[in-house]
Structure 1
Amino acid sequence: MSTIDVTDQDFQEKVIDSDKPVIVDFWAVWCGPCRQLSPVLEEIGEKYSEKVTVAKVNVDDNPGIAAQYGITSIPTVFVFQDGEKVATSVGAKPLHVLEKEFADYLN
């Protein structure tokens, strides 16, 4: 699998303390656009595995981290680098759009 699941408990370890950029997808099972975005993020995870980690946070199961980052609409995707949020994308988007938005972290 090219993505990792992250929880309120291990967010610090897997995302904030990561030595490479982490693309974090805030999603929920009932969210249609989240299901559309999921295979796109899987592809990014496979294609750019040397450059980034792709992580998924289920907002229903992990309300703490979602609240901490003010997630009000899903899917919301953040890029974290060196413990800081450095990019944001909201909504389901095709691969080429996300590759362009996140180019600084993928190349």
Structure 2
Amino acid sequence: MAVEVTEETVDQKVGASPVPVVLEFFASWCGDCRRVAPVLDKLAEEFAATVKFVEVNADESPGLVERFGVSSTPTLFVLDRGQQVASMVGAQPEPMLRGLFEAAANRIEGGRSELAWVPADACTLPTADRPTRLAEFEGLFASLRGLRREEPGWLRLRLDDGEGIEEQARALTAREAGCCSFFDFAVQRQADEVVVDVRVPASRVVVLDGLTAQAEAAYAARV
């Protein structure tokens, strides 16, 4: 069950929270907000022990809209001790929303809050954006049907051919290749699944090791 906050109560409810917070800006007239509401309520209940889910009515709290730079609804933020560490805009599919909650939970569970498998010298993604990217990968890996390490520099991911999965995979891999240019991604549809091939040069095999470990952990949790 979400806690609704206003400009007067946000610092008390969010800034003083002992656990990370997922903060959603919504509007009563917003169809996308209504569409994701059942998913968010389910995730809030599932992660209740480690994540606090808080809502802001954007129409009733214009000061908070300005403070957080919100331009559309729904918009979600992960806040840890009052500091923004990740964000997500729009009515994203459930795996993406789950990834955001998992990224928040990882802040206190000792998990990775950044793309730990990518060396700092190889990634141009701003540090503040890395938790969001991690959440996006975790969301994609929630659809894993299987994976295989073809060779040291080649990983194959097999994903469920669910609604929007192929588009999600293409968009995410394009963004990741944009900030880590050594990645070579290929996304294709085969029968009833989406296949993502990931290749790296020999000098970056350790990065693929880390990505593989994250995918294997997600797959193990799923099965």
- TM-score tier by shorter-chain length is over 0.9
1:70 corresponds to which letter in structure 2?
G
When you count helix as a share of all residues, which structure comes out higher? 2
- Mapped pair 1:6 → 2:5: yes
Task: List per-residue Cα deviations over 1:36-72 (Å, max 9, x = no partner).
Answer: 1111110111000001010110010111111111111
Q: SS state of the match for residue 3, structure 2?
A: strand
Letter in 2 for 1:15: V
Whether the aligned pair in 2 keeps the contact of 1:87 and 1:102 (CA below 8 Å) is no
Which structure has the larger Rg?
A: 2
Contact residue 26 and residue 56 of structure 2 kept, 8 A: yes
Residue in 1 that maps onto 2:31: 32
Q: Whole-Å Cα distance in 2 between the matches of residues 103 and 49 of structure 1?
A: 12
> Tell me, what secondary structure is at the counterpart of 1:43?
helix
Shift of 1:104: 2.4
Partner of 2:112: none
| Residue matched to 1:45 | 44
CA distance in structure 2 between the aligned counterparts of 1:87 and 1:31, rounded to whole angstroms: 22
Give the aligned residue type for 1:42. Answer: D
Task: Report the residue type matching 1:80 in the other structure.
Answer: L
> 1:95 Cα shift?
2.1
State the Cα distance separating 1:102 from its structure 2 match.
3.7
Equivalent pairs counted in the alignment come to 106
Deviation digits for residues 84-104 of structure 1, max 9, x if unmatched? 001101011222221123422
CA RMSD after TM alignment: 1.2
* Contact 1:22–1:55, Cα closer than 8 Å, also in 2: yes
| In structure 2, C-alpha distance between the alignment counterparts of 1:101 and 1:12, rounded to whole Å | 21
What TM-score, normalized to structure 1?
0.92
